[in-house]
Structure 1
């Protein structure tokens, strides 16, 4: 349980985080100089003039603006609900990994298991328009790592982020859990498609935000979210990413913070592999299984062994029995997306026979049809 703060103390923290014209860096400087927020608002006029610009000093001695008071009141009501928390920079529950970064948020809004913020965390990020293979990899890596004691952090976006959260949840109550860092207020789910997933995370993991209640999605907020995702984690895994990608921003934050960066390689023909390949060229560690990450970061969990099968490619499904023609189609596919004309040329099957084989492979989930109509192994 978090040590309770009085309503007055919480209101002072909230006002400090909401104060117009007061940046986070300046607010942290005031906290270092003066102490807790209530002390800042109780400063003498002389001390206030020494530490603050004149206009800001006058603003902070006056009553809060009505809009600020409204947010504070709504937030205090929000805190009355079970599993709703605010963790401040002065709170023992503030995650140590994030506290050690150069730009920690003044406070975090948390809905769920607040203790997860200080657990061993791996961040997983990637493309919103991920391939089916990328989704499978994210699900499998996240589940494996969660089963071995890691909490999986991501940003609740579509694609790889959502799959990472889902994979961690599949590890069950004995797993490491999952943390979703939001680029909105804690009471706003973006994208709306992930509303059900957000509810599951709030029940079994934790939703986290540094933004005030009611904050809607704005583009400039997501890089701020990404720095928190990276700051919470011991390492960041990029599953799929194009060369211009928010995932690469998260990876850069991680590298700048001294975290390990991991990347899953892919086809040289896939635009969603190019960001990962660029990271690998820049020094990110190439990984083919969750065990590669688990071994590298060295999390010990009593009673859990890493067996040999875990070192195989994790998203590969078990082989399914197929007839000779269907196996010929599967072999002709290789591991890159292939159009039907190329498959017909490679297999020399009739159009009818080829379509029958493709249908069988789709039904047994050995292949998927991509958005542009090509076929690819799962």
Structure 2
């Protein structure tokens, strides 16, 4: 019962969308500095605690800030908040004073004309989970861990939240970004677990009345077993973004490329599992294989969204995938219910995560 990732070397460019770009360690893998431009001004965010990573005005060579300072900017009272810093119109250089140190970091740069501009973000801790709340209708989360795990999306009133593997600027239609998770009701959201193997995610609390508080439990550790039991599991491939530039998908530069996942339940008889998958798997070698839904393995590939219901006598499903083509990616949501029975099916999500060189 495991989820396995193997490190690989990726050399593709950073994620650049209409209103934002996301810069990470891969951008400083072969050089000690890299540039980014704010044509009309921008806001920058980072949860990285590293004083050697500095932002410099390229024209004046003035040091503006460090990523370490950004990580604690204006959040003396609550370290889970991540406030943005405004930069004027200019070109900037992100420089690692330590040289080619292989530093791990994330820098989210948002143009000042972006949708939802100026949001305060939250930060997922690498070692523990916290419950975040908002009345805003939108919540963007960056991580200090291996990814972002969300459970127990809740509210006092009905809502059908959607989750995107992007920042707040990209939850509109400008970059064709698709949600990796969609709730069909509040009760469904309350019993969901979403594991995003990426550096940033945004919840859109669709249907939430104004001034109503929504909550979600968030952690940055997706390597340990989840103690809670859920009836909906969503997981993305490493670096999944859900956006496209032209005909090609956009991926965060995540150095992981293999997945082996199994989930089981002790419920038997008249169980239905609904599978909804978004895939960009253009070659046979990158096929997503699912065992336990039917007599033969289900193999998903291509670029067509997949939706299907599977009646099963027991819940014992295994999902395997390996990325050989850099652009291959997917997100899959699996919802299990007890057919013709009022009570929900609670799935025991028992798994482990391992990294291997």
TM-score (norm 2): 0.27
Larger RCO: 1 or 2 (CA < 8 Å, sep 6+): 2
TM-score (norm 1): 0.26
Q: Which has the larger radius of gyration?
A: 1
Bigger fraction of residues in strand: 2
